[in-house]
A and B are shown apart, each in its own frame.
Chain A
Amino acid sequence: MIHPIPPGTRDVLPEEMRELRALKAALIDVFETKGYGEVATPTLEYDEVLTRGGGRSDHAAYRFFDENGELLALRSEMTVPIARLVATRYAQADPPHRFCYVAGAYRAVSPQRGEMREFLQAGVELIGASASDGTVEVIAVLETALDAAGLGSAVIGLGDADLYRDLLGEYGLDEAAREGVLERLAAHDLVGLEAELGEAGVGAEQIATCLALSQLRGGAEVLEQARGYGAEAAARAADRLDDVNRALGSRIGGHRVQFDFGLMRDLSYYNGAILEVYDPAVGHALGGGGRYDGLMKRFGLDLSAAGFALYLERVHTAQIEERRRGKEGR
């Protein structure tokens, strides 16, 4: 007899379970070695807690009432639950706090798209380290984690979350016009972006700068290009990225880390450095992260924060594909 399960969920059988377990163990091993203690938080949270975090956790798709009439939600990521945990249990402890996790999260999906409602995320949170140190440490952990997963071809794209808000302010756009432009930038709709900037009364040269910045990605040479456009916001972003690059021992521009001035993350709580991870074997980003200094304040602690999350199933797909290509190449 066939007993169905909801679309976007799945059973995992022993062979895949063994591989996933090995991958999880390899990642947790990297995180723990770097000083990130593993934590678990409830799959269910009060909806009010997730909404307080803002960003994607705001969009928790599966909500329901418990037997006492409380509104609960399934978490859609782990950053907000860990912010809640730190604010509640470590308010008196000296920062920085380092935590890691491998945990299931839940999101609504568009039907017939091959997306999963339930998926695993593996990541770290570094809370209360100074801004540049924190970013650099998190990138270094991510690099080691990708190596441990065997993803020799994976690339980390590093961008700046403040660039466009800053740039559009420099261009004199008001809040409403800015939101429209940022929306186009986030969707990477260059045709719409050009039109939107034109309607907002931005000059042709400045439009060209904004379009060029959104396409600017690569090694250390793109920092000079960004400074060359004559926009102060772009020069400031280039300086901030340059600082990260120096602190990383100028590793950016090697095959592992690339600068990306066009990078936008859809979570509203980011500021400063943002990152995304790509692998040639998978058409979607493997994960992402960055800085979110405002997040802890929403939970009553004024601490900086940085971290990343990888989609474990996508990392697994990339791992299998890279192994296959590695064998064929030899």
Chain B
Amino acid sequence: MSAGIEGPLRLAVPRGALFGETLDVLDAAGVDTSELRGDSRSLIFETAGMTLVTMRPSDVPTYVEAGAADVGITGKDVLLEQSDRPVYELLDLGYGRCRMVLAGRKGSDRLGEGTMRIATKYPRIAERHFESTGRQVELIEVKGSVELAPLVGLGDGIVDLVATGRTLEENELEVREEIVECTARFVANRVAHKLRAAEIDDLTAKLREASGR
């Protein structure tokens, strides 16, 4: 796999929920993100000394692991779910704070008894959580709005990421257990971390300051 280890540093930028705050932190760290803020449909943007590559947050570990991006920003939820991908986790950026929770239908006591059926977009995080707490569950992986599952009888509860809790509220669901708190993280490819040490250390220091960590 050909890596971007020569030429400008390649940074994987997550689109979606983390996009806005990521651009703010990059600006504060001295990376020009003005082009990304327009309505350009481009995926790759050249700025002074750096190439910004935009992608889904869940693709960031894939690109960084392979060296197609030298560094990247993504959520801890993504890193936990793809923990078999060896990327270096350098910094907790603090924003994008949300909780991975187990939720069930309000007023229902079907969670906690016998074998539960749990729908989730995060099967590995869910599996580890239930295994480590000694419970047997049947996990059902879904791709879209997971809140739907218990409402129509696909599972007794869900494991999902919650920011404000409004979606749960609107769907008559409530938090039963908190599994882990997640924030945005700065990650690096392990070869780039060795061969571009000065640039990556410099960017890490600027991001640390910009994110107020």
Chain A residues packing against B (C-beta within 8 Å): 110, 114, 155, 157, 187-192, 215, 217-218, 258, 260, 276, 278-285, 317, 321, 325
Please give 17 more A-B residue pairs, beta carbons under 8 A apart, in addition to A188-B193, A258-B194: A155-B194, A157-B194, A188-B86, A188-B89, A188-B190, A192-B89, A217-B194, A278-B191, A278-B194, A280-B191, A280-B195, A282-B1, A282-B2, A282-B191, A283-B3, A284-B67, A325-B6
Contact with B197, one of A189, A217, A283 (Cβ below 8 angstroms): A217
Which residues of B are found within 8 Å of A283, using beta-carbon distances?
Answer: 1, 3, 5, 65-68, 189, 191-192
- B2 near A281 with CB under 8 A, answer yes
Residue among A187, A279, A317, A325 making CB contact with B86, cutoff 8 Å: A187
Residue of B with least CB distance to A218: B197
Q: How far is it, in angstroms, between the C-alpha of A217 and the C-alpha of B92 when the chains are bound? A: 21
Q: List 14 A-B contacts (CB under 8 A).
A: A155-B194, A157-B194, A188-B190, A189-B88, A190-B90, A191-B76, A192-B89, A280-B3, A281-B2, A282-B67, A283-B3, A283-B66, A284-B67, A284-B190
CB neighbours of B1 from chain A (8 A) = 114, 282-284, 317
A110–B185 alpha-carbon span in the complex (Å): 24
The reply to whether the CB of B39 lies closer than 8 angstroms to some CB of chain A is: no
Cβ–Cβ contact A191 & B67, under 8 A: no
Is B84 among interface residues, defined by CB-CB distance under 8 A? yes
- Say yes or no for B201: interface residue by CB 8 A criterion: yes
Could you say which residues of chain A place their CB within 8 Å of the CB of B192?
A: 283
Within the complex, the shortest CB–CB distance from B148 to chain A, in Å, comes to 27
Docked CA distance A281–B76 (Å): 28
A146 to B76, CA, bound (A): 37
Nearest to B189 among chain A residues (CB) is: A283
B66 partner residues in chain A, CB cutoff 8 A: 114, 283-284
Residues of B near A321 (CB, < 8 A) are 2
Q: Which of B79-104 contact A (CB under 8 A)?
A: 84, 86, 88-92
Q: Residue of B at shortest CB range from A314?
A: B1
Report the minimal beta-carbon distance from B80 to chain A, rounded to whole angstroms. 10
**Interface size range on B against A:** 20 to 34
9 closest A-B pairs by CB? A283-B67, A280-B5, A188-B88, A283-B3, A189-B89, A191-B92, A278-B191, A283-B66, A283-B1
Q: Using A110-B84, A281-B3, A283-B67 as known contacts, say yes or no to A191 and B185 having CB atoms under 8 A apart.
A: yes
Residue of B nearest to A194 (CB): B92
Pick from A114, A187, A284: contact of B191, CB under 8 Å? A284
From B68, B91, B189, B194, give the contact of A190 (CB < 8 A): B91
Chain B interface, DSSP helix/strand/loop, else mixed: mixed
**Residues of B contacting A280 with CB < 8 Å?**
3, 5-6, 191, 195
User: Which B residues form the contact surface with A (CB < 8 A)?
Assistant: 1-3, 5-6, 65-68, 76, 84, 86, 88-92, 185, 189-195, 197, 201
Query: Cβ of A317: which chain B residues have Cβ within 8 Å of it?
Result: 1
Bound-state CA distance A102–B9 (Å) is 35
Q: How far is the CB of B201 from chain A (nearest CB, A)?
A: 7
C-alpha gap A207/B86 in the complex (Å): 23
Residues of A within 8 A of B195 (CB): 155, 278, 280
How many angstroms from the CA of A276 to the CA of B194 in the assembled complex? Answer: 10
B89 lies within 8 A of A190 (CB)? yes
Kindly report which residue of chain B lies nearest to residue A191, judged by CB atoms.
B92
**Nearest B-chain residue to A188, judged by Cβ:** B88
A193 to chain B, nearest CB (A): 9
Q: Which residues of the other chain, B, contact A281 by a CB distance below 8 angstroms?
A: 2-3, 5
In the complex, the answer to whether A215 meets B201 with C-beta atoms within 8 Å is yes
Residues in B neighbouring A188, C-beta threshold 8 A: 86, 88-89, 190, 193
Q: In the complex, A283 Cα to B84 Cα: how many Å?
A: 16
Instruction: Select from chain A the residue with minimum beta-carbon distance to B191.
Output: A278
Complex Cα distance A110/B76, Å?
Answer: 21
- Most chain-A Cβ atoms within 10 A of its Cβ — which of B5, B65, B92, B194? B194
Residue of B nearest to A193 (CB): B89
Chain A minimum-CB-distance residue to B62 = A113
Complex interface: chain B residues within 8 A of A189 (CB): 88-89
Q: Please, how many angstroms separate the alpha-carbon atoms of A189 and B82 in the complex?
A: 13
* B residues less than 8 Å from A278 (CB atoms): 191, 194-195
Complex CA distance for A183 and B106, rounded to whole angstroms: 39
Cβ contacts under 8 Å, B86 to chain A: 187-188
Closest A residue, CB atoms, query B204: A215
A192 to B86 Cα, complex, angstroms: 14
Q: A265 to chain B: closest CB distance in Å?
A: 12
A122 to chain B minimum Cβ distance, whole angstroms, is: 19
Residue of A nearest to B68 (CB): A283
Give chain A nearest CB distance to B169 CB in angstroms: 30
Closest B residue, CB atoms, query A215: B201
**Which residues of the other chain, A, contact B91 by a CB distance below 8 angstroms?**
190-191
**Chain B contacts for A218, CB-based, 8 A:** 197
**Contacting residues, chain B, for A285 (C-beta < 8 A):** 190-191
